[in-house]
Amino acid sequence: MNETLKVIDGRRSLRGYDTREISEEHKKLILHSAFRAPTAGNLMQYSIIEVADQKMKDKLVTTCDNQPFIAKAPLVLLFLADLQRLYDFFEYSGVPTLCKERGVEYVTPKEADLLLASCDAVIAAQNAVIAAESLGIGSCYIGDIMENIEDHRAMFDLPNWVFPIALLCFGYPLREDRDVREKTPRFSEHLVYFKDKYKHIDMKEFESEFAYRFKDVTKSGQSIYFQKTGSDFAAEMRRSVNVALKDWTKKK
């Protein structure tokens, strides 16, 4: 493996951080790497907010499902799917007026635009993760930022065409974690990698993938459902995303 592949292979989520601050040099390198990520049409349909205020970090602990390590992370970055900036530019450029003169509809953001902008944001976030890892800085994704949409909009002054898709915590590992960083097992390749066509997996084979997590693997599907898919936090995430979708596609 070359050094880049070693970084990718060795990366795991980090939820405990050393107290030292991330240097400005390292922060700039992390952000530069995010900005160099692939982006649809080179439009960079995302924005990044650094959450520097400690009171805001403390509040995120609660709004993101009671995860205390968020408050202790030296660097917290919020990645946003952002169409507002582009549509502000369209307004400035007189696009709505020109559309009216030409007798064509001025199309405002739809569901597909949100998906594309979310892809842009998450790709940029992952570039930041790998850059940080290469600098000896750990990270953890917080998907719960998609919950409690009303609170997060108020906290960050988010308009309807801006959606919080990922929160990332960064920090140097605690001394005791620096040399012992076990990798979380992933699914076997044959369960997720196919050629030409989708393949349904034999459930007994799939079930064996969870043997390391469950004493009774026959109940693994039930456990995963009630812990994740059917949980209260998943229901809140669906509610918030539904609110955001309706507002995103609402015509001005």
Which amino acid, 1? M
- The single-letter code of the amino acid at 88 is D
CA–CA dist 210, 224 (Å, integer):
10
Strands annotated E in the chain: 46-50, 75-82, 138-142, 162-171
User: May I ask the CATH architecture of the domain 3-185?
Assistant: 3-Layer(aba) Sandwich (3.40)
* DSSP state for residue 167 in the 8-state scheme: E
The values of phi and psi at residue 134, to 5°, are: -65, -20
* Domain chopping of the chain, boundaries: 3-185
Phi-psi region of 183 (alpha: psi -120 to 50; beta: other; left: phi over 0): beta
Instruction: pLDDT tens for the chain, 252 residues: list them.
Output: 899 999 999 999 999 999 999 999 999 999 999 999 999 999 999 999 999 999 999 999 999 999 999 999 999 999 999 999 999 999 999 999 999 999 999 999 999 999 999 999 999 999 999 999 999 999 999 999 999 999 999 999 999 999 999 999 999 998 766 556 677 888 889 889 999 999 998 887 877 777 766 677 667 788 889 989 999 999 999 999 999 999 999 976
Contacts with 210 (C-beta within 8 Å, 6 or more apart), sequence order: 217, 220, 224
Separation CA 109–CA 112 (nearest Å)? 8
